[in-house]
Chains A and B, each alone.
Chain A
Amino acid sequence: MNKDWWESPEFLHPGHAFCAGCGFIIAFRHILKVLGADTIVAITAGCLGTNSGFLPSSPIKVAGYNTPFASVAAAATGIRAALDARGNSLTQVIAVAGDGGTYDIGLQALSAAAERNENFIYLCYDNEGYMNTGVQRSSATPLGAWTTTTPEGKAGPKKDLPAIMMAHRIPYFATLTPAFPEDFLAKARQAEAIKGMRFLQLLSPCPPGWGIPSQATVKLARLAVQTRVFPLYEVYDGKRIILNLEPEKVPVKDYLRAQTRFRTLSDEEMEHVQKEVDFHWAELKARADWFASKADDAAL
């Protein structure tokens, strides 16, 4: 992280209404710094929707447009089409939505835009629940997590959205967190450089939703990567997988115990989660290794 980067223009005013320690807003600030002034943000309901301003002012310094919950990918499609119609291929369009607007209510529009390979960046801030309405389950909520609508702990596992996005064969997919700034910046810049649908999956620790102190956001995001719960990787064209980091394995229970939302998980259940994490890691690593060994194969 060089000095120039920190001194590059900011596109988020101080004084926004996000919670202290919100993982998303750190990432949003940085992605706007990467994309710069010539950007239009499509925003949907969720924490960014409600915090994108209170008439007449907004904390966001680039052009932005709020659209109803289910429609952020469709709105970004429309913005892109309008820019193209007027011969403007330079302005970047970015759609931003939480896991509700992405995994659940917005999945239809997202899937369709991905299938059409629309030319915009989609940033999903995944805080693993409907946090803006006060912590309810979403299909991104992990197994066993407490929410107000799963007081006994969520029954099933988290929906595998990366697999769904990969199945669309989009040009670029990447996972990122606020805990690894160099990795984050490299991926944001990569997304900026590619054309077509680019999907950024941000793990966004949420202090009120996860039951963590405000200052623990970065630590939790780092633990998620170190425990391999949230691996850092990129996928090109839905096929070629690159693992960006192969951390020493930290036990998953260290991550789970740091959050009160997993308070009802027994040791046995934590063991089960550990097995699931190990399985997915092995699968991901095997695929990444296979592609690494075929790096020069033009047929890919």
Chain B
Amino acid sequence: MKELLTGNEAVARGIGLARVEVVSAYPITPQTSVVEEVAKLCAAGKLKTRYIRIESEHSSMACTAAASMTGVRAFTATSSQGLAYMHEMLHWASGSRLPIVMVNVNRALGAPWNLWSDHSDSLSQRDTGWLQLYCHTNQECLDTLIQAFRLAETVLLPVMIVMDGFILSHTMEPVDVPRPEDVDAFLPPYEARYRLDPREPHVFNILADSRDFMRMRRQAHEDMNRAVELLEDIELEFQNTFSRSYGVLEAYLTEDAEVVLVGLGATCGTVKDVVDELRRQGFKAGLVRIRMFRPFPARKLREILLNQKKVAVLDQAVSMGAGGTLSQEVKQALFDDPHFRTREAPLVFSFITGLGGLDITPEMLERIFKETIHASGPQEEPCWMED
């Protein structure tokens, strides 16, 4: 049934549909309405989850991880400073191979204080061993939440669902809320392979020597890489039941494009409009929206980009002293092509914008496309689009 929901409301619905057993979360703007919605649903008896009103994000992830280790489906949500405060525990959750799902509502990291969306919070956690899935509509937020548990429980790694603050979290969109019985069929109850169980007692996370440690890290890396194909399989099933799917990445009018923009998240909705407009003007523009950022779908991206001449990467985060975070990933993906040196690789242009919620307007996006089309090659430094 279609309902008008904000992104955060869609997330709260997803918690119920996924039959999450433990939620522990701390409010932070712009995630706050998730915890409020969960509290409301619990109070009304519409949500059967144990909801712990925890005192901090560090504790929130510690509590969620311990619950997951005890064998239940566990969820949390956060944003920005909260995600940064969890940093230690993010490593712990992935190192313990716990299938937690978390929503991170994007917001810039201070200092100075800023409330609005950019991708610096989630992208700066890219090395914590969490899968990262970036959504661009409220429907996708809800659907991804349901898919994410399947994915996490199969690869035994945690999944972070990422959505732009306010743009998705506080904006209403029509969302097709799946029927509980359909979700139940798609997402069976969670039975942990390894868990804290007095009948079969194990002590988890004791000291490991360097060899064991390194072997475990390699296994986690390999398992994470498997998640690219796994998500595709899961999506096939999802498509059959719910008639929707998203892909690990979404290519929009890339086949004959003269310039392709690569981006993440909600802005990609605007980019599609701009692509349409540019095509009306006679410019062959295209878009690749990366949905799965970790594991990075390098091979898939190469398949599309290696036939292109010019690629513009839209970064809403900067790794200071190195450049746009996403553009680094795109460049590495291209460089990793075995034939990189013998074929002509596309020129990669890096644009940094939208930091601290700076409005990314259609005009700005049009400029990015046109500058890329007209330029002979990229500058050494990324281009900062500040208005």
B63 (CB) vs chain A CBs: closest residue:
A78
Interface residue from A65, A77, A108, A111 paired with B203 (Cβ < 8 Å): A65
Chain B residues positioned under 8 Å from A109 (CB to CB): 55-56, 58-59, 62
Q: Quick check: which of A46-54, A180-188, A226-234, A273-281 contacts chain B, the rest being far away? A: A46-54
Determine whether B147 belongs to the interface, using a CB cutoff of 8 Å to chain A.
no
Would B70 and A82 count as touching, CB distance under 8 A? yes
Determine whether A64 belongs to the interface, using a CB cutoff of 8 Å to chain B.
yes
Interface residue from B60, B71, B202, B209 paired with A54 (Cβ < 8 Å): B209
A57 (CB) vs chain B CBs: closest residue:
B206
Chain A residues positioned under 8 Å from B22 (CB to CB): 78, 81-82, 85
Q: Find the residue from A54, A77, A108 having the highest chain B CB count within 10 A.
A: A77
Would A74 and B62 count as touching, CB distance under 8 A? yes
Determine whether A79 belongs to the interface, using a CB cutoff of 8 Å to chain B.
yes
Q: Give A53 to B202 CA distance when docked, in angstroms.
A: 11
B18 CB to closest chain A CB, in angstroms? 14
Q: Is the interface of A mostly helix, strand, loop or mixed?
A: mixed
Interface residue from A55, A63, A74 paired with B197 (Cβ < 8 Å): A63
Q: Given that A108-B56, A116-B53 are known contacts, is A65 also in contact with B69, CB under 8 Å in the complex? A: yes
Q: Quick check: which of A34-42, A131-139, A241-249, A259-267 contacts chain B, the rest being far away? A: A34-42
Determine whether A62 belongs to the interface, using a CB cutoff of 8 Å to chain B.
yes
Chain B residues positioned under 8 Å from A20 (CB to CB): none
Would A112 and B54 count as touching, CB distance under 8 A? yes
Chain B residues positioned under 8 Å from A53 (CB to CB): 203, 206-207
B169 CB to closest chain A CB, in angstroms? 25
B270 CB to closest chain A CB, in angstroms? 40
B60 (CB) vs chain A CBs: closest residue:
A74
Determine whether A71 belongs to the interface, using a CB cutoff of 8 Å to chain B.
yes
B71 (CB) vs chain A CBs: closest residue:
A82
Interface residue from A68, A91, A111 paired with B62 (Cβ < 8 Å): A68
Determine whether B113 belongs to the interface, using a CB cutoff of 8 Å to chain A.
no
Q: Give A82 to B88 CA distance when docked, in angstroms.
A: 22
Determine whether B183 belongs to the interface, using a CB cutoff of 8 Å to chain A.
no
B102 CB to closest chain A CB, in angstroms? 14
Determine whether A3 belongs to the interface, using a CB cutoff of 8 Å to chain B.
no
Q: Given that A108-B55, A109-B55 are known contacts, is A78 also in contact with B62, CB under 8 Å in the complex? A: yes
Q: Give A184 to B300 CA distance when docked, in angstroms.
A: 63
Contact with A along B40-73 (1 / 0, CB 8 A): 0000000001101111101110111111111110
Determine whether B92 belongs to the interface, using a CB cutoff of 8 Å to chain A.
yes
Would B59 and A71 count as touching, CB distance under 8 A? yes
Would A65 and B205 count as touching, CB distance under 8 A? yes
A194 CB to closest chain B CB, in angstroms? 20
Q: Give A32 to B90 CA distance when docked, in angstroms.
A: 31
Chain A residues positioned under 8 Å from B56 (CB to CB): 108-109, 112
Would A71 and B58 count as touching, CB distance under 8 A? yes
Q: Give A75 to B24 CA distance when docked, in angstroms.
A: 11
B158 CB to closest chain A CB, in angstroms? 14
Would B65 and A78 count as touching, CB distance under 8 A? yes
Q: Give A residues with C-beta under 8 Å from B.
A: 37-43, 50, 52-55, 58, 60-68, 70-71, 73-79, 81-86, 91, 108-109, 111-112, 116
30 intermolecular pairs with C-beta atoms under 8 Å apart: A39-B198, A58-B206, A60-B203, A64-B196, A64-B204, A65-B196, A65-B203, A65-B204, A65-B205, A70-B62, A71-B62, A73-B59, A75-B65, A77-B63, A78-B24, A78-B64, A78-B66, A78-B74, A79-B66, A82-B50, A82-B69, A82-B70, A85-B22, A85-B49, A86-B72, A91-B198, A109-B59, A109-B62, A112-B56, A116-B52
Q: Give B residues with C-beta under 8 Å from A.
A: 21-22, 24, 49-50, 52-56, 58-60, 62-72, 74, 88-89, 92, 196-198, 200-209, 212
